Amino acid sequence: QVQLVESGGGLVQAGGSLWLSCVVSGRPFSAPTMGWFRQAPGKEREFVSAINWSFGYTYYADSVKGRFSISRDTNRNTVSLQMNSLKPEDAAVYYCAATTKFGSRSRYEYEYWGQGTQVTVSS
């Protein structure tokens, strides 16, 4: 079993930055891929980024590539998402998730989810 708790959301102006963190407890290595997803009102939950827990391979959605950076700290059992050059369309609830599937981008393959943290970007 894996438990996930996100933090770090908030309100930022367009062009600004935010840093999201996800604390992983339970059995983090039983779910080798950690991901971030987001869901805006009226829209489906979409993939943002993922990282392989052991080797650090990273994956990004085209919409955030070059602006967002995912990382993990295996000593502290945390996964972070650094978000730069934020745009109003980045506003959403951001979820940390974990899956046993290597490098998955599909929300349907993620078995564990955090409660989400709100990111608001003002124009």
What pLDDT shows up at residue 28? 61
What pLDDT shows up at residue 29? 62
Alpha-carbon gap, residue 120 to 106, rounded angstroms: 24
Number of neighbouring beta carbons within 10 Å of residue 102 = 12
Alpha-carbon gap, residue 104 to 35, rounded angstroms: 8
On whether the CB atoms of residues 35 and 104 are closer than 8 A, the answer is: yes
The tokens of 100 are what?
Answer: 């046993």
Q: Which residue positions in the chain have pLDDT lower than 50?
A: none
- Candidates 62, 72, 91; CA nearest to 33 is 72
Number of neighbouring beta carbons within 10 Å of residue 77 = 15
What pLDDT shows up at residue 57? 95
